[in-house]
Every structure is written in C-alpha cells, then in structure tokens.
Chains A and B, each alone.
Chain A
Amino acid sequence: MGAILPYIATIVAALGLLTMLAGRQRPARLGGGLLGLAGLTWLWILAGSLPGGVEDVAAEVFVLIFSLIAVAAAVQMIVQQRPVYSALFFVLVVLSVCGLLVMLEAFFVAFALVIVYAGAILITYMFVLMLAQQASNAEHEGEIPSYDRVPRDPVSAVVVAAIFMGVVVAATFSGLSDLPPAAGVQARLDADVALLGSLPRQVRRELEAAEFEGALPESLKDAIQVRDGTILFEDADGVSIPLTPPGNTSHVSWSLVASFPASLELAGVILLMAMFGAVVLARREIKHAEAELAIATGADHDEYGDSGEGAP
C-alpha cells in the first residue's frame, strides 16, 4: 500500500497543474495551486524517509524554501499569459536554483549561473520578447494575442509530464537504496590532498607564508598527510605545517582542465559555431532592409512578407 502513495501524490500535483493551465480564472488558478502544493508537499514528506534523507534540519529548511520558490516560479512561468512575465519568473527560478546550488556547496557554478543565465541569456530573451511585443502591440494596443491566452491541449501535456514525473518518482523511491553510500569526510579529505598534491605552486606559497625554508620534496603527494581532520605538509626532517584545503573553485577548475581538456576545446568550438550561425542568420536580414523601412513608415505589409526567399 505504501508503495503507491508517491504516485498518488504525483497525480494530485498533476491535477493541480492541469487546473492552473486550463482554468484561466483566478479562483481556478488558486485552487489548482493549492492542490499542486498539497501533492508536492506530500511527496516531499514521503521522500524524507528515503536513504540519504534529512539529517540536518536547518539546511533542510533553506532547501525547502528555495525549492518552493523554484517550483512556484516555474509553474507561474508556464501559466503566465504575458511572455515577459514568463521570462521574469524564469529569472526567479534560476536565482532559487542557485540558492540550492549554494546549499549543495557548488559555489562557483551557482555564481556562474547567476551571471551567465540570469544576467546574459535572459537578457537576450528579453530583447527578443520586447522586439516582438513592440511590433505586435502596434496593431492591437495592449491586447494579449490568442496564442498566449489559449494553451494547446493542456490535458495531454500534463499527462505526458505526469508520466515523466511518475518515472522519476519510481526511480527515486526504488533506486536510492541501491546507490553506493555518500562520500564521507574521508573522501573529501582525500580529494583535497590529491588536489594539493597536484598544485606545487600553491603549496609553496603557503609554506613560504609559514616561513618554511627547505625545498619541496620530489613527490609532493607523499609529503601531504591528514592528521585528525587537518591537512599537513610533513617532510623528512619532521617539519609539519598545516595547509588550507582548496575551495570549490579550485576543485572545479582542476577537474575542468585535468579531466576534460578536449571537452573544453569543444565547448569553445560550439560557441564559435553558434556565433557564426547567428551572424549568418542575422545577415540574411540585410536584404529586407528596404521592406522593413516600408513597414516602419506604415507602408504596405504584404510586400515585406514576400521579399524573403521561399516565403509563400
């Protein structure tokens, strides 16, 4: 009996989402939101008893707050009729996801997401939205076009989403106990020691700050030890100097350049090709320049539509 409870909670949440998508009146939306919230809260409580579950209540409160904001903003994003509001709610999703990443100790990635996603990518979306909105609002003042007001077949969309969520729930509730145990304090210290062993310059800087005069040993890895949870530099003469463990950014950047150098190059190639692609797509517009002028000055519309290659 207990095994089907998570699926019932998923269905309740899906019904809430459907009510919010299909019902465009305020009471329907409010009811749908409450129903969805109830389903997700139920799922959240059920998941609390899984392995790898709640140990630290204070951290979990922050996680709960950020998750609530993320899900609420995501739902608002797909329910909002005005696309600009959708984009703004997506910024809220990104910010709360970044809060979660901070809780997960992924500091570098969290701030990169804020800067690149919320800062750059979303601005591009806003530009395009404003561009399109401005042009269409000139004809129907302040009116939301029907393709933003009426969703396309919300029932089957929510059914597909609910089936997907059911698969995720099944995997989470039955698969988590098969996972290897989480990396403990020892694994973290091992990772810190391995990284410091690969960074002779940083170690040397710290040793110089501690007024260590000798030379670094041939194999730096063997000279770095862990005693009682602190990382120590110990050489053959019995010198013992504590080292600060490397931070999240050091770990991520080392993993990036040491484990994935080819992927890093490929990412550069992808960006370059995207830039070429965008330039090629944008260049085609130069041919329309006169027709655009005609539209801007309120001349005939059809002439403009026919000027693109292959346009009907």
Chain B
Amino acid sequence: MSILAAEFSSVSLAHMLLLAGVLMAVGLAGFLSRRNLIVMFLCTELMFQAAVVTMVAFGRWYWDFSGQVFVIFILTVAAAEAALALALVILLYRRRSTLDAESWTELRE
C-alpha cells in the first residue's frame, strides 16, 4: 500500500455527492436564468464538472478506475462540444450581432 493511499484514505462520500449536487444545481440555475449564449454554454461545462466529481468519488468508494476513465471521455465530449457550440455561437452572433439567446425565440415555433 502506498504512502499516499494511507494519507488520503478517507474523504467523505456524502460531502462529495452534495458538492456535486450543488455545482450541478448552480449550473442548472445559471443555464436557465442567463441570457448570454456563451455563459449558458459555460454553465453546461459547470454541470460537467459536477459529473466529474461524482464519477471520481464513486470510483474511489469502490476502488474502481472506470469512473476516472469516464472522466477522460467526459473531457473528450466537452472539448468536442466546446468546439461545435462555439462555432455555432459565432455563426449566430454574425447573423444578429448579439449574444442574446432571446433574439432567437422564433426557433421555438
């Protein structure tokens, strides 16, 4: 058993889950209440962070490394999403010269 494992052996799972819940809830509130397209996408990235904390906390609880492998996949998807979403945002911005999400409300209909 490594020395590090002995030192860091007990982080509370309940606290990690609650922290992830709070990060996810704050991201959700931000996504619903902000009107700036880029900040809305930043809020989804915040929710990714919450998922990362949950994955790693449960992975450590069961000493199963699949949780950390999934974080690597989350990272991949987040990078792909950032590239595509930001390309779309730039496209939308050039059409209307604004980052306001409400200038695109006609897409609802």
Contacts and interface: CB of A to CB of B under 8 A. Distances in A.
Interface of A: 13, 17, 21, 40, 43-44, 47-48, 50-56, 59-60, 63, 67, 70-71, 74-75, 77-78, 83, 86-87, 90, 93-94, 97, 100-101, 103-106, 108-109, 112-113, 116-117, 120-121, 124-125, 128-129, 131-132, 135-136, 145, 147-148, 150-154, 156-158, 160-162, 164-165, 168-169, 171-172, 176, 179-180, 182-183, 185, 187-189, 191, 229, 245, 247-248, 251-252, 254-256, 259-260, 263, 267, 270-271, 273-275, 277-278, 281-282, 284-285, 288, 301, 305, 308, 311
A270 B80 contact: yes
Contact of B46 (A77, A124, A171): A77
Nearest to A226: B1
Contacts of A136: 97-99
A47 B104 CA distance: 43
Given A47-B12, A124-B83, A176-B14, A259 B75 contact: no
Interface string B89-108: 11101111111111000000
B45 A274 contact: no
A53 B12 contact: yes
A277 B71 contact: no
A120 B82 CA distance: 10
A17 B86 contact: no
A162 B24 CA distance: 11
Contact of A71 (B26, B33, B39): B26
Nearest to A53: B12
9 contacts: A54-B12, A71-B19, A83-B39, A132-B90, A136-B98, A161-B29, A168-B24, A182-B62, A256-B72
A188 B5 contact: yes
A248 B2 CA distance: 11
Contacts of A255: 65-66, 68-69
Contacts of B99: 83, 132, 136, 145, 147
Contacts, number: 315
Residue of A104, A135, A158, A271 with most chain B CB atoms under a 10 A cut-off: A104
B33 A56 contact: no
Interface size class of B (residues with CB under 8 A): 35 or more
A54 B24 CA distance: 23
A188 B12 contact: no
A15 to B, nearest CB: 12
